[in-house]
Chain A
Amino acid sequence: MTKTTAKPALTRRAALSTLAAGTAAASLPMWARYAHAQSAAPIRLGFQQHRTGIGAAYGRWYGRTVEAAVAKINAEGGINGRPVEIVAEDDGTDPKRGAEVVEKFATQHGVDVAFGPLFSHVVIGSAPRAGELKLPYFVVSEGTHVSSGMLNRYTLQPGITDVKSQVMSMAPFITGTLGKKVTMIFPDYGFGYDHRDNLAPAIEAHGGTVLEKIAIPPTETSFTRYFPRIPRDTEVLYHVMVGPAVLTFVKELGEFFGGQGPALFGFIDSLEAVAIDSPGLEFLEGSYFWEGMCRHEQPDQSEYETAYRAAVGVNERGASLADPRDVSTYGHMFGCWETLHIIKAGMEAAGYAGPQHRAALIEAVEAMDEIPEGPGHPQGAKRFNGRTHQVFGHQNISRVEGGRLNRVHRTTIEDTLYPDMVDYTQQPF
């Protein structure tokens, strides 16, 4: 997929195929048998899926995206000429079961690599086992846990950007366009802390101030009593509530300000799999959202994204073609599509033939750098950092206008970069 890796990959593959073709007819039967075995057996990818539990809505759409990506990859000849087979296991969005599923992939199913979890606690609970079992583990989680150095050499996140870079890159737009005085409302646990800890320094670096940080306990079901704590001179209200309470939150917020309040800025994570024109969300009109990938079709949509939408089966509003009420997790699920294309590119660059080449696969992915936009990367160009195992990419900001999310800003990749916190390449395999 990348320029840097594609070249050696092609030459190596070309060399291999020439060898295989030449030697099959000639005096090296071992090589011929090897090449034959290589082309026959499918490559098995273990898909750790949130089919049940709190992540089920994400898991369902991650599943559909994976299915579509594998159909595409197989139609184009598979990986190294071998078909791709998905072995899906439900992790119940639970870290204990997640670790068990990783063990099952490695020791029972005998998969080549595992991929697919979104929720941070599942990733952090499973990654140590993946490392111990030496099973490459491609997460699609947007957590900063990969680049923070907490995990290990076998865990990579090449298909989706992390929350730290997402949050940081929002700051220039917020202070430049919406206002310099920001108040944050966030859930009082891990996801909220990522926003709390990363936004404030970025806002200050761009000449703004965070006036107040209001943490709301995860058990709260009504929010009205927190709103008086919002300072009167707040220009931007940054909110990242998630879960079922978000509808109540938005409604109460709207009633509290009655349309006179500060500009609202949120993350689409709050409203993934929820239609933006749902009753009660009228108050969001005119507010801004971060989106990993724009749910509603934009006028300048690339041909790659058009093909991607059709392949996954979502319409121009990001809902299922079969049932328009079934709204996708469009802002995140592209991560599965792109991860599978990275696995393909990595395996082809490494000449992957079986589990003995797992380390070579990781080195091949680590060697990736610039990843151009294309059919495998419809969200846009990316830059992979092999040392921190984290990918960086463009972020979108959309405004709710007449029940539609219209993109008003797209960051550069440079906006999203931050200094390395770890160098996984120093760790032995």
Chain B
Amino acid sequence: MLHLGLLALLLAGHFFLPAYHHGNLARIMVLASYAMGYNLLFGYTGLLSLGHALFFAAGMYGMGMGVQHLGLGAGAGLILGIASGAVVSALVAVLALRTIGVGFMIVTLMFAQAGFLTILHFGEWTRGDEGFVLAQAGRILWGVDLSTPGARYLAALVLFAACLLITLALVRAPFGRVLVAIRENAERVQMLGYDTQAHKFAAMVASGTMAAAAGAVYGMLFGYVGATFASVQYSILPLLWVLLGGAGTVLGPFIGTLFMFYLIDLSSGVTTAYMLIAGVALVVLTLFAPQGIMGEARRRLWRGLP
């Protein structure tokens, strides 16, 4: 109910938001989809990845290279982007899931760095750190020009709604319950007869694919594909958004992304040390609301919040 309410509110926002916030929210919804993908692995399964930029970039470049070099249309480009995310995350999962804890963090970080350097290495096709502007023809989906403000907002909303509902369905299903159980006590789950490795693998692929979908849509809606999005910064950001909003809550990633976006937007108008302000906000939140904003809401207001 709450989730449908948020979607309805966002849809209403399309009609009454001023142009600037309308544009921002389109961006935030796509980034929040990325954060939701991240949350699936970190918040629900308890696996802290430092390499999700690799999956985001896999989606973005899968889509971008398809449109730019293979001449695909927007639909086929998006599918290629999402598929590349699924393949890359499956490959990384096979290798990275052999480790746990800090090892997992380091391995995912290394893979993401390798991915980043690969993009730079094939600069002739990827245009490296400069990136490239997506051809206008590749931004028209079923006759709708995704570079217009209205279409962009609604496309972002469709992605966001899809990710939200998928996450909701996943975490309510037995599959999601097992993931939470793995987070709480993996050995006990194993003893109960569940295949924890298979569940972790599935969670990582779902998480990576969702991140890739966000990457592909981001590239398409904003018309730019560049290696910056594969850099380590974009692996850290979803972690921050999820921590701020509340790990292991369905709405947390959206709240965290929204909060962080406007925090940086407003504070960068005041000082160049806006990352310091963001850092202080994070420290304060960790001290006083260690479960994040939605986590705190769950603790105080509604214990059953998914």
Given the known A-B contacts A121-B131, A121-B228, are A104 and B272 also in contact in the complex, defined by CB atoms under 8 Å?
no
Does A81 have its Cβ within 8 Å of any Cβ on chain B?
A: no
Report yes or no: B20 in contact with A103, Cβ–Cβ below 8 A. yes
Within 81-139 of A, Cβ neighbours of B (below 8 Å) are at 89-90, 92, 94-96, 99-100, 103-104, 107-108, 120-121, 124-125, 127-129, 132
Chain B residues proximal to chain A, CB less than 8 Å:
18-20, 22-24, 27, 117, 120-121, 123, 127-134, 147-148, 222-224, 226-229, 265, 268-269, 272, 274-275
Question: What are some 15 contacts across the A-B interface (CB < 8 A)?
Answer: A96-B229, A100-B27, A104-B20, A107-B20, A121-B228, A124-B131, A124-B224, A124-B226, A127-B133, A128-B133, A132-B148, A188-B123, A189-B120, A190-B123, A190-B128
Alpha-carbon distance A123/B272, docked complex (angstroms): 20
Which residues from B are CB-within-8-Å of A100? 24, 27, 265
Measured between beta carbons, the chain B residues less than 8 angstroms from A127 are: 133
Q: CB-CB < 8 A to B22: which residues of A?
A: 107
B-side contacts of A145, CB under 8 Å: 130
**A interface size (C-beta, 8 A):** 33
Interface presence of A52 (CB below 8 A): yes
In the complex, chain A residues 208-241 whose Cβ is within 8 Å of any chain B Cβ: 217-219
Taking each of A128, A145, A151, A217, which has the highest tally of chain B beta carbons within 10 Å of its own beta carbon? A128
With the chains together, A150 CA to B129 CA distance in Å?
15
CA A219 to CA B129, docked complex, whole Å: 13
A193 CB within 8 Å of chain B: yes
Bound form: Cα–Cα A145–B129 in Å: 13
Most A Cβ at <10 Å: residue of B24, B147, B268, B269:
B268
B133 to chain A, nearest CB (A): 5
Contact B268 A96 (CB under 8 A): no
Which chain B positions have C-beta within 8 A of A217? Answer: 117
A386 at the B interface (CB under 8 A): no
Among B117, B128, B134, which residue has the most Cβ atoms of chain A within 10 A? Answer: B128
Q: How far is the CB of A58 from chain B (nearest CB, A)?
A: 14
A143 at interface, CB cutoff 8 A: yes
- Report the minimum CB–CB distance from A310 to chain B (whole Å): 27
Are B133 and A90 neighbours in the complex by a CB distance under 8 Å?
Answer: no
Residues B130 and A190 in contact, CB atoms below 8 Å apart? yes
Closest residue of chain A to B139, judged by CB? Answer: A128
* Complex contacts, A96 vs chain B, CB 8 Å: 228-229
- Inter-chain contact B272/A95, CB cutoff 8 Å: no
Write the nearest CB–CB distance from A327 to chain B, whole angstroms: 20
